[in-house]
Amino acid sequence: MDRDEAIAIVQREAGRVLALATDGDGDGDEDGDGDGDEDRFARPVPSCPGWDFGDLVKHLGNAYNWAGTIVGERLLAPPGPGMPRRGEETSLPDWMSNRLDRLVSVLTDVPDDVPIWNFGPDSPSSAGFWRRRMMHETAIHRVDAELAAGADVSPFEPDLAADTVSELLAILHFSDVTDGDTSPPSSRTTETMPLTVHLHATDTEGAEWTLDTTARTVTRRHAKGDVAIRGTAWALARWCWGRPVEGEIEVFGDLSPAEAWRCTVVP
């Protein structure tokens, strides 16, 4: 993906979270004096059990801080304990906003031929890993912020949403075997879950994934799985990340084992 486009999407999605964090969609602090902050940040995040809105904003600030440190210092190993920390006097939205600005700056400036550590299967690699990772991290957590605020979940461009699925499989170390064996993946099953899950995006041409959950392989073409899930690319991406998609997907087969498997790989 183009560098500027990815960074612009990170900024757009983070901006939506910050807007919800600072004005709460217009409830709780209409006079702008900050009195509604405590109540706003205490709202539970239904898609992240145990988190409140403050935890979500802090998490994104910490994620931007972590990635920004890795990219900014061009690390070849995970960062140590010397990363910047949020001061007690810094509000959660200010921390997230400050760390976002730093992240954007380093992602913009770093040349793509500089090797940088990441937790994917191809480390070190270019900063493109982190631009892509922060784009999808922010988009999924933007959904969490909207759910916590009781707002409608905003759409996400179908091609980007399809990449959300592909990126998740990459960081889960699924090997793409599309160009290998042309036979369908095995449909062997266990007592607890199917071994093959077929995902089919209805709004993005060619966006299909057939997962062999035991072999950790993905085939990017149509194939029969133990369960098939159809929906928009954004619905499939949110399902993969464990976010609610009730009424947005069509399921062929028993979904429960697939969801049980998903819970073992997506926190």
* Mean pLDDT, rounded, of the chain: 90
Q: What is the model's pLDDT at position 36?
A: 63
How many domains does the structure of the chain reveal? Answer: 2
Residues 197 and 237 grouped into a single domain: yes
Instruction: Dump pLDDT digits (tens) for 223-233.
Output: 899 999 999 99
pLDDT of 51 higher than 80: yes
Considering the domain architecture, whether residues 237 and 261 belong to the same structural domain is answered as: yes
* Each residue's pLDDT tens digit, 121-130: 999 999 999 9
Confidence (pTM): 0.90
pLDDT at 180: 73
Beta strands in 167-260 (DSSP E): 175-176, 196-201, 208-212, 217-219, 227-231, 249-252
**CATH for 163:** 3.30.1050
Q: Cβ contacts of residue 26 below 8 Å, gap of 6+?
A: none
Residue 50 lies in domain: 3-149
pLDDT at 181: 55
Give me the pLDDT at residue 33, please.
Answer: 46
Query: Distance (Å, rounded) from C-alpha 27 to C-alpha 40?
Result: 9
Let me know if residue 154 belongs to a domain. Answer: no
| pLDDT at position 260 over 60 | yes
pLDDT in tens, 53-68: 999 999 999 999 999 9
Boundary residue ending a domain (149, 173, 198): 149
